[in-house]
Amino acid sequence: MSEPIVKIRGLKKNFGSLQVLKGIDMDIDQGQIFALIGASGSGKSTLLRTINQLEEVTEGEIWFDGELVNQKLPHRQREAHLNRLRQNIGMVFQHFNLFPHLTAIENVTMAPLMLGRVNKAEAIEQAKKLLDKVGLSDRGDYYPSKLSGGQKQRVAIARSLAMNPKLMLFDEVTSALDPELVGEVNRVMKALAEEDMTMIIVTHDLRFAEDVSDHVIFMADGLVVEEGPPSLVFRAPQEDRTKSFLQQVFND
Amino acid sequence: MDFALIGRIWPFFAEAAWVTIEVSMLAIILGLILGFAAALASLSRNVLLRWPARAYVSVFRGTPALIQLFLLYFGGPQIGIHLGPFEAGVIGLGINIGAYMCETIRGAILSVDKGQTEAGRCLGLGQTQVMRRVILPQAARMMVRPLGVNAIALIKGSAIVSTISVLELSYTAHRYISSTYKPFEMFILASIFYLAIVTVFSFGVKKIDERVALES
Amino acid sequence: MGLDFSILPAYADILWKGTLWTIALTVLSMFFSLAGGVVFAVLQLNRHAIIRWPVAGFAWLFMGTPLLLQLFLIYFGLVQIGLDLNAFVAGVIALSLHFAVYNSEIIRSAIVAVDKGQYEAARSLGLSQFQAMRKAIVPQAVANVTPALGNMMIALLKESALVSVIGVMELTLSAQRAISDSFRPFEFYIAAGAIYYVLNLGLEQAVRVAERRSAQYR
């Protein structure tokens, strides 16, 4: 049995006097698809953002690929450590955060080029493949302002994939989309899941979570309330809080 | 820092500050009148009103205020306009700032939602009535602050009338720099008065803005 | 005395030289005011108050007082501390400082206005703080500031006329020289005004092109 790629132990996070994560433990194996569900304010997005350290943690440990993510280091060394780490962890945001001054293809090539991973021709070659993969081979020269929300989000996914990450984080990536555009983004994520990419997906879209994930974590008030395979969590929840959450969502 | 000197001559600066206030306030009033007239004219459908208003704004915003002032004061007599320094200063500054205020006022009027005009016209009001009863009251709210910015720029810009020997703050500072060779002290002294005038004026603008916002 | 514009060609040479000096003065001051604006803006975003405060105080003083007064301070003040610079240099320094203060306000708010998500996205790709700033934040800030900075540069051209009072032989003072020779103020101020107007039109065009270029992506 190999070491999990992400290992979280006793994770706590405070915003001032408010504790938003109250002790989280989690193991994610290579190739697993985790779905984090729960009401707004349950701490799921914060948890996701601690993994690549967009949020610092107050207490506990996060391990990624055998390395302690939140190790205490002097400022410069910590920055270098984080840069290296983040190059292996892709992140996709709710509001896309595409760079508006760059075309779709430039968004995808920027990081690999800046970090000296590839030369320009290789970067463009790779970016074209990735845009093709997300179904946007004809939109490479478009600026984000000329793309629909769904297209933007697919470019954002391609941008993250350009760094060949070992782990992908998805932070409510379809929440800001018009309903008719959700499907195209979900399809790209599903295809990615079928390629054995390790993924952590924070989502409100429970049907998609059930469809794509192989492990579901239900969070409330900064704690993991219930977890397990989707068939169990969604079809036969054990905890009352899970039951009432699911009831509420599916009745809407 | 020569405090003894400052103590001796500050009353002259205070007197000069009063002249700066007078010139500025009169110019602001003139600018507001011209600005309003030009703004309404430039939005008119009548070409004979619109074009002169546009030309006024373009020429007076497109050239230095100093040149405009010199043209009026030194060149005026050639075409029969004889003005003293103070009058020339007020008129020169007023015409100049009027062009900027016109743009501010025009912008505020144009920013009122087009639906307002349509709604007014559908009630059977005429063009002028809609402008007076519907558009201007809403535009007024939006123009107080930017007009305040124009006016404050004018107060500082009024320093240029020192070049046609209006005995205001900058003229006085210049004169004392030449006679005492203490540029730093004179700068600080004059600055205190300018900053005081600008601060009080800004406060006044803020109060007016709050009042106008409250009413609507 | 009537008007006689036919006298102008005889003084074309002095007006032309004055125009060139006005252009030189304006272009140099633009450059230094923009560079200074960036420096002041960065200093004002510094996390140490000891660096922020003096800059803020200087900005407050220079934004609240007339350019003419600042011109006197710099021209006569530099002489007093033993730096006998020529009027042109003093003029460039005064215009640059005056406009640098305004530019820095514009630049600072533009940097702050760029969405925080942009920074996060760049960092989550593994870019360093500096790389994120250079590639993600600055280009957007540039697009945000171009219109306002353009207006400042247009104002600078017109305000440059003020340096005539300390004896810089630019366009305004050249016109005055021609007037003291010909006694025809009206004609020459009209001529100088027309030249400024044309320069201003050209600059407005350039600013518009810069605006369009920097905001191509919108």
Domains of chain B: 3-215 (1.10.3720.10)
- Whether B213 has its CB under 8 Å from any CB of chain C: the answer is no
Confidence check: pLDDT of A232 > 90 = yes
Confidence of residue A195 (pLDDT cuts 50, 70, 90): very high
Q: How many angstroms separate the Cα of C168 from the Cα of each of A190, B207, C14, C53, C92?
A: 71, 42, 13, 34, 10
Instruction: Give the mean model confidence (pLDDT) for residues C17-26.
Output: 96
Contact criterion met (CB < 8 Å) for C69 and B68: no
Contact criterion met (CB < 8 Å) for B156 and C66: yes
- Whether C217 has its CB under 8 Å from any CB of chain A: the answer is yes
User: How far, in Å, CA of A138 to CA of A148, rounded?
Assistant: 14
Q: What is the pTM of this model?
A: 0.80
Confidence check: pLDDT of C108 > 70 = yes
pLDDT at A34: 95
pLDDT at B216: 58
Taking contacts as CB-CB distances below 8 angstroms, the residues of chain C near B181 are 76, 80
Contact criterion met (CB < 8 Å) for B156 and C197: no
Contact criterion met (CB < 8 Å) for B191 and C69: yes
Taking contacts as CB-CB distances below 8 angstroms, the residues of chain C near B160 are 66, 68, 162
Confidence check: pLDDT of C104 > 90 = yes
Q: Sheet with A18-28: list strands edge to edge.
A: A18-28, A6-15, A59-64, A67-68
Token code pair at residue A190? 């599903």
Contact criterion met (CB < 8 Å) for A86 and C124: yes
Q: Subunits touching C (CB < 8 Å, at least 3 pairs)?
A: A, B
CB B63 within 8 Å of CB B91? no
C86: left (phi over 0), alpha (psi -120 to 50) or beta: beta
Q: Would you give the distance in Å from CA B181 to the centre of its chain?
A: 32
Best CA proximity match to A160, nearest among A117, A124, A110 = A110
Contact criterion met (CB < 8 Å) for A114 and C131: yes
User: How far, in Å, CA of B100 to CA of A33, rounded?
Assistant: 62
CB A175 within 8 Å of CB A182? no
Domain boundaries, chain C: 10-113+145-215
pLDDT at C79: 78
Instruction: Give the mean model confidence (pLDDT) for residues C155-173.
Output: 94
Minimal Cα distance from B196: which residue of C? C64
- Whether C177 has its CB under 8 Å from any CB of chain A: the answer is no
Contacts for B171 with CB less than 8 Å, ≥ 6 apart = B16, B161, B162, B165
Residue to mutate among B67, B74, B83, B154, with most C CBs inside 10 A, is B67
Taking contacts as CB-CB distances below 8 angstroms, the residues of chain A near C120 are 54, 93, 97
Contact criterion met (CB < 8 Å) for C217 and A144: yes
Contact criterion met (CB < 8 Å) for A87 and C135: no
Contacts for A129 with CB less than 8 Å, ≥ 6 apart = none
Best CA proximity match to A106, nearest among A133, A142, A138, A136 = A142
Taking contacts as CB-CB distances below 8 angstroms, the residues of chain B near C184 are 78
Q: Give residues 91 to 150 of C whose Cβ lies within 8 Å of A.
A: 115, 117-118, 120-129, 131, 135-136, 139-140, 143
Token code pair at residue A68? 């302690």
Token code pair at residue A121? 């021709």
Contact criterion met (CB < 8 Å) for B62 and C159: no
Q: How many CB atoms lie within 10 A of CB B151?
A: 24
Confidence of residue A1 (pLDDT cuts 50, 70, 90): low
pLDDT above 90 coverage of chain A, percent:
81
User: How far, in Å, CA of C132 to CA of C122, rounded?
Assistant: 5
User: How far, in Å, CA of C51 to CA of C41, rounded?
Assistant: 11
Contact criterion met (CB < 8 Å) for A83 and C217: no
By the 10 Å C-beta count (0-12 exposed, 13-18 middle, 19+ buried), C81 is classed as: exposed
Contacts for A214 with CB less than 8 Å, ≥ 6 apart = A32, A33, A229, A230
Quick: pLDDT tens for B79-104: 999 999 999 999 999 999 999 999 99
Query: What is the least distance, in Å, from the CA of C18 to any CA of chain B?
Result: 14
pLDDT at C77: 85
- Whether B75 has its CB under 8 Å from any CB of chain C: the answer is yes
Rg of chain A over Cα atoms, rounded to whole angstroms, equals: 18
- The vertex-C161 CA angle with B36 and C68, nearest 5°, equals 85
Contact criterion met (CB < 8 Å) for B184 and C77: yes
Candidates C70, C72, C192; nearest CB to B174 = C72
Q: Which residue has the tokens 């103070």?
A: B86
- Whether B41 has its CB under 8 Å from any CB of chain C: the answer is no
Query: What is the least distance, in Å, from the CA of C181 to any CA of chain B?
Result: 14
- Whether A100 has its CB under 8 Å from any CB of chain C: the answer is yes
- Whether A83 has its CB under 8 Å from any CB of chain C: the answer is yes
- Whether C80 has its CB under 8 Å from any CB of chain A: the answer is no
Q: Which residues of chain B have pLDDT under 50?
A: none
- The vertex-C6 CA angle with C1 and C10, nearest 5°, equals 110
Candidates A101, A156, A163; nearest CB to C126 = A163
Q: Subunits touching A (CB < 8 Å, at least 3 pairs)?
A: C
pLDDT at B215: 66
Candidates C129, C131, C140; nearest CB to A100 = C140
Q: How many CB atoms lie within 10 A of CB C109?
A: 14
Taking contacts as CB-CB distances below 8 angstroms, the residues of chain C near A46 are none
Q: Could you tell me how many helices (H) and strands (E) chain A has, helices first? A: 9, 10
Taking contacts as CB-CB distances below 8 angstroms, the residues of chain C near A69 are none
Query: What is the least distance, in Å, from the CA of A196 to any CA of chain C?
Result: 21
Give the fold, CATH level 3, of C10-113+145-215.
MetI-like fold (1.10.3720)
Taking contacts as CB-CB distances below 8 angstroms, the residues of chain B near C77 are 183-184, 187
Candidates C121, C122, C139; nearest CB to A101 = C139
Contacts for C25 with CB less than 8 Å, ≥ 6 apart = C88, C91, C92, C95, C160, C163, C168, C170
Residue to mutate among A56, A88, A96, A99, with most C CBs inside 10 A, is A99
CB A165 within 8 Å of CB A90? yes
pLDDT at A76: 85
